């Protein structure tokens, strides 16, 4: 892996090219090289190496990530999962995230050294691998959900082990200069990992959200109070709207499929089990409900909804989406650095 080297005007030009234009093949390679260096440098600055249980370091990372070169991927959606070498993209088990959610909840769980490499994927697309090591001793509420849950396989800790042993994050770019897939991988090097040991987590008891001994909702990192400014006046109504919509999700059996164990039913998974997961996927969910594609039965066939329940799902879901839009607009109007852009895909 390469260490980050200083860039200047080339770095800025590469960022603009990647964000706005596909460009010719030769130019893409040049731009991707520059962007790789900028990305690695930015992540190492925002989320440097620290003890893997340092909550202050994790909090600082969560606040800083998304303000540098990585900002270009915050406002569109892509897939994330394990590397799953040898599988075609359509056969990989992945989760679908908007970039801001992925960075704030998942990328922030890694620490970065500034080392990187540019590679060519088997399908011919170009990618970037940044050296990264997992924070495996944080309190449970610092993870967006318990990665140590059973997934029905013989080894219930496969996913937790994969997070722990990963030593790089990979970003696969399409020909328009956008990430289409991000993965964790153990194909890199442990040369800069430092002191690090396996952690055995308590047995998962089936709760994706819970309250700690002080009565605080967990995982705390998935709450609106952590994603928006504390003085955003729309937080109370936003939280109430989510709770109302979540009841309809439960009544319609949406959360059976759209939770981390939903990979038993589908390869490409949209998560809804926490406020922020639901917020970043609400448009897609409403489209699926309107079209009658969701929910599905045990055979993955569309399951008819009671008309009143469907109407409530759409009404409450649209109200929730509108409040998200309003809260985002307040963040932009008040100049908050990580406010979501007005136009997103």
Q: Which residues contact 37 (CB under 8 A, 6 or more apart)?
A: 2, 4, 5, 7, 11, 116
Give the start-to-end residue ranges of the domains of the chain: 22-185, 223-333
pLDDT, residue 257, reads 60
Query: pTM, whole model, 2 decimals?
Result: 0.85
Provide the 10 A C-beta neighbour count for residue 21.
13
pLDDT, residue 184, reads 95
pLDDT, residue 286, reads 87
pLDDT, residue 188, reads 95
pLDDT, residue 256, reads 58
Residue written as token pair 């993209």: 89
Please state, in angstroms and rounded to a whole number, the distance separating the CA atoms of residues 108 and 135. 9
pLDDT, residue 5, reads 45
pLDDT, residue 30, reads 43
Judge contact between 50 and 111, C-beta under 8 A: yes
Sign of CA dihedral 126, 130, 131, 133: negative
pLDDT along the chain (345 residues), means of 10: 50 34 33 92 98 98 96 92 86 90 97 96 86 97 90 58 95 89 95 92 88 93 95 96 87 66 68 89 86 67 80 92 96 95 61
Provide the 10 A C-beta neighbour count for residue 325.
14
pLDDT, residue 249, reads 79
The C-alpha torsion from 158 through 164 and 168 to 169, rounded to 10°, is 60
Please state, in angstroms and rounded to a whole number, the distance separating the CA atoms of residues 331 and 307. 36
pLDDT, residue 116, reads 97
Cα angle value 91/263/159 (rounded, 5°): 95
Closest CA to 220 of 231, 228, 229, 209: 209
């Amino acid at each position: 892996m390469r260490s980050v080297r200083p860039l200047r005007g080339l770095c800025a030009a590469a960022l603009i090219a990647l964000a706005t234009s596909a460009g010719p093949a030769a130019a893409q390679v040049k731009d991707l090289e520059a962007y790789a260096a900028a990305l690695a440098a930015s992540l190492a600055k925002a989320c440097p190496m620290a003890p893997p249980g340092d909550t202050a370091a994790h909090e600082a990372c969560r606040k800083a990530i998304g303000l540098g070169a990585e900002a270009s991927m915050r406002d569109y959606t892509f897939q994330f999962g394990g590397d799953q070498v040898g599988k075609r993209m359509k056969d990989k088990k992945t989760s679908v995230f908007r970039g801001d959610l992925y960075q704030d909840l998942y990328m922030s769980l890694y620490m970065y050294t500034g080392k990187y490499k540019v590679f060519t994927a088997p399908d011919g697309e170009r990618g970037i691998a940044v050296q990264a090591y997992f924070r495996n001793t944080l309190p449970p509420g610092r993870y967006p959900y318990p990665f140590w849950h059973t997934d029905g396989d013989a080894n219930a800790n496969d996913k937790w082990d994969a997070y722990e042993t990963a030593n790089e994050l990979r970003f696969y770019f399409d020909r328009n200069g956008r990430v289409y897939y991000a993965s964790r991988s153990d194909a890199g090097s442990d040369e800069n990992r430092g002191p690090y040991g396996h952690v055995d987590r308590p047995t998962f008891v089936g709760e994706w959200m819970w309250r700690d001994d002080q009565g605080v909702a967990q995982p705390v990192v998935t709450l609106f109070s952590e994603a928006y400014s504390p003085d955003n006046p729309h937080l109370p109504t936003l939280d109430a709207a989510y709770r109302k919509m979540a009841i309809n999700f439960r009544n319609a059996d949406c959360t059976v499929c759209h939770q981390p164990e939903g990979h038993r039913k589908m390869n490409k998974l949209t998560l809804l089990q926490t406020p922020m997961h639901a917020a970043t996927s609400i448009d897609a969910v409403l489209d699926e409900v309107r079209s009658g594609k969701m929910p599905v039965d045990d055979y993955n066939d569309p399951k008819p909804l009671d008309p009143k329940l469907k109407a409530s799902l759409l009404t409450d879901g649209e109200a929730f989406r509108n409040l998200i839009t309003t809260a985002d607009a307040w963040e932009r109007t008040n100049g908050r650095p990580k406010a979501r852009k007005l136009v997103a895909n």
